[in-house]
Amino acid sequence: MFELSQLRCFVAVAEELHFGRAAVRLNMTQPPLSRQIQILERVLDVVLLERSNRTVKLTPAGQSFLAEARRLLKLAESAALLAKRVANGKAGSINIGFTATSAYSYVPELVAACRRELPDVEVSLKEMVSGDQLKRLDSGEIDIGLLRPPIPRNGLRAFRVTAEPLIAAVPSGHALARAETVMLDDLVREPFIMYAPYEARYFHDLLVELFSRTGLVPNYVQHLAQIHSILAMVHSGVGVALVPETAMNLHFSGVALRRIELPRQRPAELFFVSRDDNDNPLLPIIAALAKGLAQDLPRTG
């Protein structure tokens, strides 16, 4: 099989049609250049150049091979450049898992930052609950998880990217909607839409802890997993709810979102998680972008 160096020698001679000028162009002497062309012709078992004392001409086979030789050299150069860009974290691909609620604010900000800073990187997003993200991190199916605590520390690196308060969601025509701030006691006296204990375990446990700490016992009328479904039920007058502050980005009609007085509130947290042994060169770059967004975006808690 021929070598790339032989292709470079052939292309230089074919373009210059002069061994002397081609040798100068390649910064080499003429005898080794001639030997490289001879080896290439022997490997291909075809004559590429017609030589005389005065002229060098391409044979019909040489003319056809020139186009392919140029293409192969360009592919080799592109492959080398791509390898360097991947090694430097400027190209390649990254798989990111995320929870549904993180898509309301943080995930779009992170994806926009990746597109801006890493335009040649392919970002693949996979929506899944936190428990599934931990399994996919362990199997290597995703590189990054944007998930809710608790987070096992063995073999994982994690840092918090958001910590947002819970707010009250009430029908826009409800008496509580007229107040700027809602008291928790007033809210739980209403029919209450709760998070499902399995499909939305993090928010379910967060509210159970809150009600246990305050000694309040809400009147649960529905258990739902998705925040947009909860807001739809609030809109329909089924009940009231507590949702993370980013739900304001949904602009759900017929629902009033109000701040609520909560004693020693534990915020809803989101963490950036990756495996310690993940050697994807993009990972530290995207982690730095994620940390920057965590500092720039207003958060509480």
Contact by Cβ (8 Å): 58, 48: yes
Nearest to 280 by CA among 161, 141, 134: 141
Rounded Cα distance, 48 and 109, in Å: 56
Low-confidence ranges of the chain (pLDDT < 70): 81-91, 295-301
- Strands 181-183, 255-261: pairing is parallel
Round to whole Å and give the CA distance between 135 and 132: 5
Supply the pLDDT for residue 2: 84
Residue 87, pLDDT score: 67
Conformation bin of residue 77: beta by default, left when phi > 0, alpha when psi is -120 to 50: alpha
Q: For position 112, what pLDDT does the model report? A: 95
Residue whose entry in the numeric block shows the structure tokens 């592919």: 75
* pLDDT at residue 300, as a whole number: 41
Rounded to 5°, angle at Cα 169 from 167 and 175: 115
Give the pLDDT score at 74. Answer: 85
Nearest Cα neighbor of 242 from 206, 269, 214, 212 is 206
pLDDT confidence of residue 294: 87
pLDDT of residue 273: 97
The 10s digit of each residue's pLDDT in 107-142 is 999 999 999 988 888 899 999 999 999 999 999 999
49-51/56-58 β-pairing: antiparallel
Tell me how far apart the alpha carbons of residues 103 and 127 are, in angstroms, rounded to a whole number. Answer: 9
Q: Please give the Cα distance from 65 to 67 (Å, whole number).
A: 6
- The answer to whether the pTM exceeds 0.75 is no
Q: Tell me: the pLDDT tens digits for 269-294? A: 999 999 999 988 889 999 999 999 98
Sequence-distant (6+) residues with CB within 8 A of 214 are 184, 263
For residue 122, list its beta bridge partners. 93
What domains can be seen in the chain, in order of their start residue?
A: 4-87 (1.10.10.10), 92-159+269-296 (3.40.190.10), 166-261 (3.40.190.10)
